[in-house]
Each structure stands twice: as structure tokens, then as C-alpha cells.
Amino acid sequence: MSMRLLRRILIATATAYLFFSIAGGITLAELQLHPWRRAIPQNEQAATAAFVYARYGTELQNVEITAQDGIILRAWYARPRLANGRDVLMLHGVADNREGIADFAAMFLNRGYGVLLPDSRAHGESGGALATYGLRESDDIHRWVDWLYTGRQSKCVYGFGESMGAAIVLDSLTAEDRFCAIVAESPFSTFRSVAYERAAFYVRAPTWIGRTLLRLPVEVGIDYAKLRYGLDFDRDSPVEAVGHSSTPILLIHGSDDINILPHHSELIAAKHPAYVSLWKVPGAAHCGASAIQPEIFWNKVLTWFSTYPQRPSNKATTA
């Protein structure tokens, strides 16, 4: 092979890779920022409300608040008749809605906790065009917590999140310090690191491919989000938020999770071991701990919350 031919091949390969990186990065960014919106059919809402009333003798309330940027955020709220005066803010994963986490609510209601199940922005019935994985959701969560303390006079508010919901409840600790305790299953540690891994996951490649060959497309996508939408994902770091918080946190992560790898929770736990406990569940897939070890799961979650029954006295009630 002549040097001229080799040079042409290298130039063509580099040009194709650059084009792929730009096009792929922009496409990836748009898909992540505009996840599929799963609406809640009216008949399902009515059926859920009827079940809650029949089982717990309480109304399933439709509630809404206004976010900092003016969009409307919507949620369900229920408090059982024999309430303990404490509430659990429950946060779902990406491309899902409040129904996706509603199955967990029954156990909390049975134990006297009120439950608040919001649709995250750009999900379900909430407004907003962009999912920002904690950048804007952190203040949304702060406002929901404020609603519980001021609007429902909650004695204690707990956070419970799955996947994206787990990451954003941890992210919110930069804006909200009034959680009595948090349980987070399968969170990511930083947006950038999980973006590399997810890029590889999408093309069914090993994770090292995401950090090497797919690194440029991911960087293009992150820069594109910043330039077009003003979203700085370098600030999206649950691990850093936890590092500056004294909120007790129980992390749960399946050892077989290939969606968000277990090392993310390991990094978060290592950041602040005095306040963070990690339960790594053998054989569990993504957010699968409750399916594979339900009794242990609920024992750990309920014990964690009951261990912290009051807000620390130095934490303010309002924003």
C-alpha cells in the first residue's frame, strides 16, 4: 500500500469519524433531553384514586406547583387516615411517570406515611420541554419539599428515588437540606460519566468503548446542550452534592445492573461514608432489589426512615 493511499484512507476515516461524532452527539443530546413522554390515561387515574380510597380511606389528591421557570409540575398526594405525620417524596425514572413508582407507595401508606408522587418535568402530566437530570429538577424538588412542610405541615420529609429519580434527589441536596433521610436506588454519580457508559450501552458495546471511541460524540452532545439550551452538565454531579450534605442516605444498587453500573453508588458512598450507607444487592438488575429480595429491601428502607424520625433542628422550614 502506497503512502498516498494510506493517507487518503486515514483522512477519509478521520472525516467520517468527525461527521459521526457531530451528528451522533447532537442526536444523542436531543433524545436524552426530550425523552418519550408517558401520559397517564384518565381511566387509570380514576382507578388508582378508587383503589386508594377503598384501601386507605383517603382521597388521592391531584396537586400542582409552579417551578422557578414558570412551568406547572403535577403530582399525586395521599395521606392515610392513621397517619404518622411524615411524608415520602417519591421520584420515578427517565421516560416514566408517577405510576412507575406508585407500587412502592402502598408499603409507605400501610406504615402511616403520606406519599407525594410528582411527574418530573418533561414527564407525565408535568410541564416543561426538557429533562435536565437534576440541573433544574433540584429546585423543583426543593419546591415540593417546601409544599409538604408548609402546605401539609409534615413533621418529616423523606426522599425515595429510583434511577433518574435517585440521582436527582441526591442532586437536590445542593438546594434542599430538609430531608430527614433519603433512599436512592441505582443513581448515577455524575452525568458525564454515566453518559459515556450509556453511549456504549446503546450500541451494545463494552463500557470502555464509551470512554474512548464514543467519547467525542458524548462531548459534542454535552457541548451542544450547553450552547443551545444553556445546560451545563458539568454541574450535574450527585456525588459532589452528597459530599456537601449531612443528610443520612441509604444507597441501593444491584450487582448485575448494566443500565447504571454499581460503581456509581460505590463512588457516592465513598465520598461521605459518615452519612452514606450502601447495600449492594447480589444478582439484582437495574432497580431490581425489591423484586429479588423484597423482605430485606423493605426492612432496610423502613428501618432507615424510622431511624431518622425528625428533622435536624438547625434546618430551616421554608426557603
Q: What share of the chain is helix, strand, coil (3-state, %, to 5)?
A: 45, 15, 35
CA 287, CA 184: separation in Å to the nearest integer? 10
Give the torsion through C-alpha atoms of 23, 28, 34, 37, to 10 deg.
Answer: 130
CA 11, CA 26: separation in Å to the nearest integer? 23
CA 253, CA 207: separation in Å to the nearest integer? 18
Give the pLDDT of residue 316: 41
Give the pLDDT of residue 225: 98
CA 153, CA 111: separation in Å to the nearest integer? 18
Residue 182's H or E segment, with its range, is strand 179-185
User: What are the E-state strand segments in 5-131?
Assistant: 61-66, 72-78, 86-91, 114-118
Residue 276's H or E segment, with its range, is strand 276-281
Helix (H, G, I), strand (E, B), or coil: what is residue 147?
Answer: helix
**Residue 189: is its pLDDT beyond 50?**
yes
CA 70, CA 136: separation in Å to the nearest integer? 12
Helix (H, G, I), strand (E, B), or coil: what is residue 290?
Answer: helix
**Residue 315: is its pLDDT beyond 90?**
no
Mean of pLDDT values over 182-195: 98
The fold for domain 39-190+236-307 equals Rossmann fold (3.40.50)
The cell numbers describing 274, all together, are 459518615
**Residue 317: is its pLDDT beyond 80?**
no
- The pLDDT tens digits for 54-112 are 888 889 999 999 999 999 999 999 999 999 999 999 999 999 999 999 999 999 999 99
Residue 95's alpha-carbon distances to 70, 98, 254, in angstroms, are 22, 11, 21
CA 303, CA 312: separation in Å to the nearest integer? 18
Phi first, then psi: give them for residue 83, nearest 5 degrees: -85, 150
Domain layout of the chain by residue ranges:
1-33+191-235, 39-190+236-307
CB hemisphere CA count around 44 (13 angstroms)? 11
Give the pLDDT of residue 319: 38
Give the pLDDT of residue 51: 85
